[in-house]
Amino acid sequence: MTRTEFFATLAPHAIRARKEGSPLFVSVRLAQNLLETGGKIHSWNNLGGIKVGSGKPNEWWDGSYVKKGTWEVVNGQKVDTTAAFRAYKSIYHFYRDQDLLFQNKRYERVRAAKTPEEQAEALRLCGYATDPEYGLKICNIISMYNLKKYDQEADNKMQLSNYQWQRIETGVKSLLDRKIISDQGWLEKAQKRTLTRDELAWLTFELVANPR
């Protein structure tokens, strides 16, 4: 599979996830996928190195896993090891399960990132991987393959109806009333419909993480 074929296969799923509220820029997600897989889409569809860990099965991950070799950086040294990685029914299932992971407080900086470069470094800072050059490698891949074009495609395709804007405004009021957020500027932006794509993604995850 060529790099062009790799990105062409994944991009529609990544764009869909972004439109549905994923905090990850499409460019960051695709670059991470290439970095983690080397450009091969395995049958278990784990494109981000997510291990089984202590997580429990959910609607996107049924508990299946594969064991394979990997490496970690421990005390500045690269160490070969074997780990159990989650296996998924589809690429979309992986993206949705990964987005559930990013709801954790640990990844607050990933959700709040305003640019792909900031988000790539946030992944490293939040401990998504032990590679000290993880963020830099993602940024280099984004630049090398012009992946920001997919961010533009995701943003250009996003359209909200009046009903959807009303729901967003109601959600912002709820977050303010419960003091989950304190900046009244969020409500003003929702009322004026000037929230950016990234702000909408962040609000969506805050509402999911803090249901009434």
Q: What is the DSSP string of the chain?
A: --HHHHHHHHHHHHHHHHHTT-SS-HHHHHHHHHHHHSS---TT---S--B-TT----SS--S-EEEEEEEEEETTEEEEEEEEEE--SSHHHHHHHHHHHTTSGGGHHHHH-SSHHHHHHHHHHTTS-S-TTHHHHHHHHHHHTTTHHHHHHHHHT----HHHHHHHHHHHHHHHHTTS---THHHHHHHHT---HHHHHHHHHHHHHS--
Q: What is the dihedral of CA 198, 21, 207, 64, to 10 degrees?
A: -130
Using an 8 Å Cβ cutoff, are 66 and 85 in contact? yes
Give catalytic residue positions.
Answer: 72, 97
Tokens 């009046």 locate to 162
